[in-house]
A and B are shown apart, each in its own frame.
Chain A
Amino acid sequence: MSGLSVRAYLRGMAMALGLACTAWLLGAPPAHAESDRFSIVRAHAYQIYSVYYLDATARIPLDATLRGALTNGVSVVIAYDIRVVHTRGWWFDDTVATLTQRYRLRYHALSRRYLVDNLNTGISHSFSRLSEALDDIANLRRLPLLDQTLLTKGRHYQVDLKVRVDAGDYPLPLRVRAFLEGAWRPSSDWYRCPLN
């Protein structure tokens, strides 16, 4: 039996037995330096006629793990979770609307370009550099949020958003790893801006 088989055997047993503990211990993403983390740099929600739009700029630094996965044919889905909430001082916030804006980033080996698919609209753009592709994703421009009619006048609304890598879209074998290792599913903190 090969050394790998023995290792796999032992690892399988260990994984099955210690899964819960490991999940608990490694469930939280490890701490990174601020510049290495996903974050929302700024966001601005505004109204044009009766529709609210969102402009946002994020920092999406992909680490070596994810870059390696990307160049090896694994597509990475980066998603913005956006929710419009009615903040109530005396009770939990009331979520009025939720929206997830998803981009699939993949490497096109034939053209040696990075392809960004907007999964909400179906529009694709290709970039010769990864940084350009990430910049394209990191800058949300005029993203329609919701219609004014859905909001109640006089109430104070805010927009919460965060950007993350959607681990649910990984190929299945990676999903377990992503579940166990936070590095595979980086995420920013929630960023809150007023809905003007």
Chain B
Amino acid sequence: MPVELKRLTNRAWPAVLLIVLTLLSVLAMSGAVENSARFSRHYIWLLVFNTVVLLALSLLIAANLYWAVRQAKRQEPGARLTLHLVLLFILIALVPVSVVYFFSIRFLDQGIDSWFDVRIERALSDALDLGRGALTERMHDLQRQTRDAAEGLSGVSDLRLPVALVTLRARLQASEVAVFGADDHIIAASTDPPGRVVPNLPPADALRHYRRDHGYAGLEPEGGHRLQIRILMPIPAPPGSVEALQPPRMLQAVFQVPGRASELASQVQDTFDHYQELTFLRTPLKQSFVLTLSLVLLLSVLAAVWAALYSARRVVQPIRRLIDAIRRVAGGDLQAKLPLTRGDELGLVARSFNEMTARLLSGYEETERGRRQLERQRRYLQTVLEHLTSGVLTIDRNGVLRTANAAAEHILETTLDPFYGRRLADLGSHTQLIHGLYQAIAARLIEPADSWEQEVELFGENGRKILICRGARLPEQPGEGSIGGGSVIVFDDITALIRAQRDAAWGEVARRLAHEVRNPLTPIQLSAERLRRKLLPHVSAADARILERSTDTIVQQVESMKQLVNAFSEYARAPVMQLSEVDFNAAVAEVIELYGAHPGVSLTFAPTEAVGLLYADPGRLRQLLHNLLKNAVEAVRDKPLGEVHVETCVTQRADQPFVELRISDNGEGIPDTLRGQIFEPYVSGKTGGSGLGLAVVKKIVEEHNGLVWAEPRREGGTCLVVRLPRWRAAVGDA
């Protein structure tokens, strides 16, 4: 219901209708005040109607104002502007109207007062007295004539009386003469025009006067403007007659005041009456005018207030819509449109706003498309980078690390997350590899050349690494801060490649050496044995000892060389894997058994049950374990309390389960000069070693897709770690 009411009060036509009706009504009232007979009769109802309409208009405006104030309190868009406009309009309307009203009332008051003057009143009163005096004089004259006539009628008999009255009326020029008896009954009468049945009877007050004063003369108004003079006179009875004892008869003579005199007297009378009435009605008259004027003022003010409200709302409505739409746009809704209902400047604003939002929308969509495309490209590049085996780093022009891929972290053996946003030059030496890398390529980064390539050799916890680095300058992007410029560094870990090349070369050397060396060894050995057998019986004892010792030396050395050649041959032999399920813990325990009785060395084994089965070549696995244990035992052989600790465990790296074998010793450890090379052939820290033991270990581990490395122990000695992939079936069983 309030919504309906609000809609009704928001429309123009109810108020316009009310105002027009009231205006007509006020016009009618104004007509009524000016004595228009048509409206005069309905004056009161016009007044009531106007009051009711003005009350309705007031209510309408009050409701509108209430809503406007409420909207302003709620801080709805445009509400304050509406209120300001309304107040301004009201002020503009009210001030001149009030001034006009004020002065109108003043002029009205003074104007009406100016109608009245004591002198006019006196003049009118005097005129009335004058008229009255003139008529009174005439009346006295007629009274005298009538008295004479009455005396003339004394003694006239009733039979002659009518004729006498006719004569008398004619003589007196009266309109009517009549004779009344003692009880006021008519005896005879003569009227003009003749034939009037009942003569003009004297009124009661005239009779009263007559009886009291024995005569009566009075001026009497008739209907209209006519005046008549009535004279009552007793008809004296003849002296000595019988009638003298009775109350005298009464002669009535009625005279019409002549037309001109009557007219003038009536005019004076009317004017006097009118003036008297006006004087008496002065205050109510003023009130009537003030009332009409006040109604007109109220109507004007209320109409102005309503028009102010209506036009303020009309003016503010498009602005309110605009504010709403701007808020929506600010909130991210670019679909906001304004209705194009006006052809004025506000319509132009609405059209421009719609064009602006349309352009914003298309711009936004284009930007969004671009952003999505960039995002796709970024994800694409990210994926490519993440799956590159080459490490990629980008640094800006200040040498600050910006991005890196997973391969870079892998190669540099560290997590790079903490270093993003930091200058590579500021990184300490604890970040050994990345620090080393930066040191090696720092000079290149400030070169003007667009691209460069450099081989870098680094030493990390896992030994020596050889990286091949390629750098390229990133394009400058002016105006985008420090994002542009800088360099991209791509590097590959070619340690394994070089090592593989070296291993291949060594294998070839070993194969050729074995082939070339093994062939002459057997004839040498056989020749030496035949020399001893043929010559020993033929030589002296002293020579025989020399001969025996020499041939023994030859045979032993040849045997030694054969072993060496076999070892080389073994290293160079092409792998023929015979894979089967192997219980890793059991295999380790079995080999440890063989070394269990080694004097002076404490050998301990800590298996982890979860290790389970491996899919491996049992023979090669055994050789691997054998070589490692042998190496470890030999490392602690010279120590008074040699300890070798073997343990197995399971690790998880990048969703891939591995089995790890860790063989720790408390020996001298690996010299720094050899670290990183101990798995290369013919590198040995021991005197008399072939230098192939760990090379073979590495070869077997790689044949099983595993890794092997050496870690220096903090308490001294070395820990050799072998990491082999866990068998999938075993994983499933676990």
Is A83 an interface residue when CB atoms closer than 8 A count as contact?
no
B48 partner residues in chain A, CB cutoff 8 A: 20, 23
0 or 1 for each of A94-128: is its CB under 8 Å from B? (1 = yes): 00000000000000111101010100001111111
Q: Does B203 lie within 8 Å of A8, measured CB to CB?
A: no
Q: Does A109 lie within 8 Å of B105, measured CB to CB?
A: no
Of the stretches B271-279, B353-361, B550-558, the one at the interface is B271-279
Shortest distance in angstroms between A1's beta carbon and chain B's nearest beta carbon? 6
Is B32 an interface residue when CB atoms closer than 8 A count as contact?
yes
Shortest distance in angstroms between A9's beta carbon and chain B's nearest beta carbon? 5
B52 partner residues in chain A, CB cutoff 8 A: 20
Q: Does A16 lie within 8 Å of B291, measured CB to CB?
A: yes
A12-B35 contact given A4-B109, A126-B203, CB 8 Å threshold? no
A113-B109 contact given A12-B291, A173-B288, CB 8 Å threshold? no
Is B47 an interface residue when CB atoms closer than 8 A count as contact?
yes
Q: Does A175 lie within 8 Å of B268, measured CB to CB?
A: no
A122-B203 contact given A69-B280, A176-B287, CB 8 Å threshold? no
Q: Does A110 lie within 8 Å of B128, measured CB to CB?
A: yes
Is B491 an interface residue when CB atoms closer than 8 A count as contact?
no
Q: Does B280 lie within 8 Å of A16, measured CB to CB?
A: no
Is B345 an interface residue when CB atoms closer than 8 A count as contact?
no
* Nearest-neighbor residue (CB-CB) of B219 within chain A: A111
B290 partner residues in chain A, CB cutoff 8 A: 8-9, 11-12, 15
A62-97 residues with Cβ-Cβ distance < 8 A to B are 68-69, 72-74
Task: Name the one of B51, B222, B277, B279 contacting A20, with C-beta atoms under 8 angstroms.
Answer: B51
Q: Does B47 lie within 8 Å of A176, measured CB to CB?
A: yes
Shortest distance in angstroms between A29's beta carbon and chain B's nearest beta carbon? 16
Q: Does B51 lie within 8 Å of A19, measured CB to CB?
A: yes
Shortest distance in angstroms between B305's beta carbon and chain A's nearest beta carbon? 15
A172 partner residues in chain B, CB cutoff 8 A: 32-33, 35, 40, 43, 288
B294 partner residues in chain A, CB cutoff 8 A: 12-13, 15-16
A73-B276 contact given A108-B221, A117-B223, CB 8 Å threshold? yes
0 or 1 for each of A1-32: is its CB under 8 Å from B? (1 = yes): 11011001101110111011001000000000
Is A147 an interface residue when CB atoms closer than 8 A count as contact?
no
Q: Does A176 lie within 8 Å of B291, measured CB to CB?
A: yes
Is A42 an interface residue when CB atoms closer than 8 A count as contact?
no
Q: Does B279 lie within 8 Å of A72, measured CB to CB?
A: yes
Task: Count B interface residues, CB 8 Å.
Answer: 60
Shortest distance in angstroms between A131's beta carbon and chain B's nearest beta carbon? 11
Shortest distance in angstroms between A20's beta carbon and chain B's nearest beta carbon? 5
Is A179 an interface residue when CB atoms closer than 8 A count as contact?
yes
How many angstroms from the CA of A175 to the CA of B44 in the assembled complex? Answer: 7
Task: Name the one of B101, B128, B218 contacting A109, with C-beta atoms under 8 angstroms.
Answer: B128
How many angstroms from the CA of A2 to the CA of B114 in the assembled complex? Answer: 14
How many angstroms from the CA of A69 to the CA of B284 in the assembled complex? Answer: 12
How many angstroms from the CA of A172 to the CA of B128 in the assembled complex? Answer: 26
A176-B277 contact given A8-B290, A15-B294, A109-B128, CB 8 Å threshold? no
Shortest distance in angstroms between A25's beta carbon and chain B's nearest beta carbon? 14
Q: Does A174 lie within 8 Å of B128, measured CB to CB?
A: no
0 or 1 for each of B219-244: is its CB under 8 Å from A? (1 = yes): 11111000100000000000000000
Is B573 an interface residue when CB atoms closer than 8 A count as contact?
no
Task: Name the one of A11, A13, A72, A111 contacting B277, with C-beta atoms under 8 angstroms.
Answer: A72
B192-226 residues with Cβ-Cβ distance < 8 A to A are 203-205, 218-223
B287 partner residues in chain A, CB cutoff 8 A: 8, 11-12, 15, 173, 176-177
A113 partner residues in chain B, CB cutoff 8 A: 220-221
Is B265 an interface residue when CB atoms closer than 8 A count as contact?
yes
A12 partner residues in chain B, CB cutoff 8 A: 105, 287, 290-291, 293-294
Shortest distance in angstroms between B339's beta carbon and chain A's nearest beta carbon? 42
A5-B106 contact given A11-B287, A132-B205, CB 8 Å threshold? yes
12 contacting pairs across A/B (C-beta < 8 A): A12-B105, A12-B290, A16-B295, A20-B51, A23-B51, A110-B128, A110-B219, A113-B220, A124-B223, A125-B203, A128-B218, A168-B41
The 6 A-B pairs with the shortest beta carbon distances in the complex, nearest first, are A12-B290, A16-B294, A72-B280, A73-B276, A173-B284, A73-B277
**Which residues of B come within 8 Å of A, CB atoms?**
32-33, 35, 40-41, 43-44, 47-48, 51-52, 54-55, 101-102, 105-106, 108-110, 113, 128, 131-132, 135, 203-205, 218-223, 227, 265-266, 268-269, 272-277, 279-281, 284-288, 290-291, 293-295, 297-298
**Which residues of A come within 8 Å of B, CB atoms?**
1-2, 4-5, 8-9, 11-13, 15-17, 19-20, 23, 68-69, 72-74, 108-111, 113, 115, 117, 122-129, 132, 168, 171-177, 179
